[in-house]
Amino acid sequence: MLTPARVLLVGAFFSVLVGCTTGRVQKGAAGADPSEVVERSLVILHTNDFHGHIAERDDSAGAARIAAYFAQQKAQHKNVLVLDAGDAISGTPVSTLFSGVPIFEVMSLMGYDFGLIGNHEFDHGWRQIEKFRDAANFPLLAATAHGPDGGLLGDMPSTIVQRGGLKIGVIGVLTDKTPSMITPTGNQGTTFANVANTLREQVARLHPLVDLIVVLSHTGHEPEQRLAATIPDIDVIVGGHSHTPVETPVLIGNTLVVQAHEYGKAVGRLELVVAANGAVTMHRGELIPAAQLPAADPVVAAVVESWEAKVAAKVDFEIAVSDRLISAIELRDWMERVLRERTGADLAYYNRGGVRDVIRAGSVTARSIWNVEPFGNTLVTLRLTGAQVAKMLTENGDSAGRELIADKTYLVATNNFVGAHAQRLFGADAQVQDYGLLVRDLFIETIQKNGLPRPFN
Ligand SMILES: [Zn+2]
């Protein structure tokens, strides 16, 4: 095993040879005293959009193997910062059945330094975020999210942390598009400040006090690159929300933009050397795929197992056997058909973001359908004109697959998430009728009765 000093000397040498720098004045790296280089080096480990995948399954590593990797890195390197960029919950039965709390309990055993509130942290209403903050033994940042009373929903907007000889400013932001992405139920009165303006303020305040500024962002890879291009003095944006596997860091000006896929399928690792003048003189970033992570940490594995045992009886029973992979697009079409048939509606609409998994070939369990629909949405109908349907679809980034008559009223079957947003758009006009029936249960029941969706031909 290489000692930390040797690893970093190799890194510094690499930067001189390849010119792998952020373009600022190089000072302190080449020919520097090795102990000083160690003092001024940092390894950032990062995850995002974990979505409740604490158990190892399919291509997700699970919390216990990720924790083992964090521990291994901390044993090998002096200065390590472990970050999560939001949407830790919602996506698995263990998360939904226990309203997200087990995920933060498990993450507390994994060795995170800071987390971030993402849009899905609002899935159980903003008050539940207080429970997440209690369960997490690391601060959840969020500079842009506020409760109805104007109070900050995160533990803090930003903070300064010391690693070796480095003072690091960490700022947390989540997308200002959050209101259109969260269930209005339990989230009335929450407000989301403009991300760019908030970052400008926070960066201006921290810049004179620190060597390095790291932004934890849940806004998506494209917007994160735009933030990097327009706001100076950010060294690193650890991103999330778009579930993007950024294999090597994207360098925009002097800002490195990274993101580590989704569901614990990979862990991001970014190694930096920072000169005395605050310039990043060496960087090397990569995604470590789940398959390359070490064996499970037994302590974390035991806690994950105890939580998973509580949900097994509810979800681990076979409902069908599939001879093929059923894509999310095909599933969505089938889900719309099921909702239409159940209600006798003229149209059915299911939001794309509401279909969270595919069905794989082999045994299909109730858990498989939970993974497709982890939110616990209910069946609703709406009465909307053709023009209103078109507006609703546009708001969701969709278009109608058929001609709609603008002034004709349609009965539309959908889920309560879409229904609540229609009500926000059209008020009482939308005539939302909630059946109180979980769409997930309807899908499970339909498969048990009629089998899996059949291929188009
Ligand atoms: Zn998100």
Shared domain check, 153 and 62: yes
CA 121 to centroid of ligand 1, rounded, Å: 9
18: containing domain:
4-307
Shared domain check, 293 and 338: no
CA 331 to centroid of ligand 1, rounded, Å: 21
CA 351 to centroid of ligand 1, rounded, Å: 15
| Inside any domain, residue 371 | yes
| Inside any domain, residue 105 | yes
Shared domain check, 152 and 220: yes
**Pairwise CA distance, residues 221 & 257, whole Å:** 8
Selection from 132, 126, 142 nearest residue 105 by Cα: 132
DSSP 401: S
Shared domain check, 331 and 275: no
- Render pLDDT for 321-338 as a digit per residue (tens, 0 to 9): 999 999 999 999 999 999
Residue 189 contacts by C-beta under 8 Å, 6 or more apart in sequence? 147, 148
At CA 330, angle to CA 332 and CA 430, rounded to 5?
Answer: 20
**Pairwise CA distance, residues 102 & 146, whole Å:** 24
Selection from 324, 261, 315, 321 nearest residue 293 by Cα: 261
CA 358 to centroid of ligand 1, rounded, Å: 19
At CA 428, angle to CA 425 and CA 433, rounded to 5?
Answer: 100
189 burial (CB, 10 Å; 0-12 / 13-18 / 19+) is: exposed
Shared domain check, 330 and 407: yes
**Phi, psi angle pair for 324, to nearest 5°:** -160, 170
CA 434 to centroid of ligand 1, rounded, Å: 26
Cβ atoms within 10 Å of 191's Cβ, excluding its own: 14
Residue 64 contacts by C-beta under 8 Å, 6 or more apart in sequence? 56, 296, 297, 298, 300, 301, 304
CA 84 to centroid of ligand 1, rounded, Å: 12
Q: List, in sequence order, every beta strand (DSSP E) within 86-149.
A: 115-116, 140-141, 145-146
| Inside any domain, residue 455 | no
Report the domain count for the chain.
Answer: 2
| Inside any domain, residue 456 | no
CA 88 to centroid of ligand 1, rounded, Å: 9
CA 49 to centroid of ligand 1, rounded, Å: 7
Tokens 């280089």 — which residue? 37
CA 144 to centroid of ligand 1, rounded, Å: 14
CA 174 to centroid of ligand 1, rounded, Å: 8
CA 238 to centroid of ligand 1, rounded, Å: 14
Identify the three-state secondary structure at position 344: coil
Residue 227 contacts by C-beta under 8 Å, 6 or more apart in sequence? 195, 196, 199, 215, 217, 219, 234, 237
Shared domain check, 299 and 281: yes
CA 440 to centroid of ligand 1, rounded, Å: 21
- Segment (H or E) for 192: strand 191-192
CA 126 to centroid of ligand 1, rounded, Å: 15
Shared domain check, 330 and 291: no
Whole-number pLDDT of residue 355? 96
| Inside any domain, residue 173 | yes
CA 263 to centroid of ligand 1, rounded, Å: 12
Tokens 């099921």 — which residue? 338
Residue 92 structure tokens? 């698995």
CA 163 to centroid of ligand 1, rounded, Å: 29
CA 118 to centroid of ligand 1, rounded, Å: 6
CA 320 to centroid of ligand 1, rounded, Å: 31
Shared domain check, 145 and 38: yes
Shared domain check, 275 and 180: yes
Exposure b/e, 106-136, CB count within 10 A at least 16 = b:
bbbbbbbbbbbbbbbbbbbbbebbeebbebb
- Render pLDDT for 408-456 as a digit per residue (tens, 0 to 9): 999 999 999 999 999 989 998 899 999 989 999 999 999 999 999 988 6
Q: Is the dihedral of CA 355, 357, 358, 359 positive or negative?
A: negative
CA 243 to centroid of ligand 1, rounded, Å: 8
CA 181 to centroid of ligand 1, rounded, Å: 8
Residue 73 near residue 45, CB atoms below 8 Å: yes
Selection from 390, 379, 456, 374 nearest residue 425 by Cα: 390
CA 85 to centroid of ligand 1, rounded, Å: 9
Identify the three-state secondary structure at position 33: coil
CA 99 to centroid of ligand 1, rounded, Å: 17
Residue 84 near residue 114, CB atoms below 8 Å: yes
Shared domain check, 122 and 243: yes
- Stretches in the chain below the pLDDT threshold 70: 1-32, 401, 456-457
| Inside any domain, residue 457 | no
| Inside any domain, residue 408 | yes
CA 342 to centroid of ligand 1, rounded, Å: 31
Angle between helices 298-315 and 101-110 (to 10 degrees): 160
Last residue of a domain, one of 307, 339, 362: 307
Shared domain check, 154 and 32: yes
The type of residue at 403 is E
CATH code at position 355: 3.90.780.10
Tokens 């002097």 — which residue? 254
| Inside any domain, residue 387 | yes
CA 338 to centroid of ligand 1, rounded, Å: 27
**Pairwise CA distance, residues 124 & 397, whole Å:** 24
Radius of gyration of the chain (CA): 24
**Pairwise CA distance, residues 162 & 26, whole Å:** 22
Last residue of a domain, one of 307, 325, 360: 307
CA 396 to centroid of ligand 1, rounded, Å: 15
Shared domain check, 258 and 171: yes
Q: List beta partners, residue 270.
A: 44, 285
CA 166 to centroid of ligand 1, rounded, Å: 30
User: Does the model's pTM come out above 0.75?
Assistant: yes
Cα first-last separation, the chain: 56
CATH code at position 85: 3.60.21.10
Residue 376 structure tokens? 């616990």
CA 323 to centroid of ligand 1, rounded, Å: 32
CA 261 to centroid of ligand 1, rounded, Å: 12
Selection from 50, 54, 51, 49 nearest residue 308 by Cα: 54
Q: Is the dihedral of CA 27, 31, 36, 41 positive or negative?
A: positive
Last residue of a domain, one of 278, 307, 336: 307
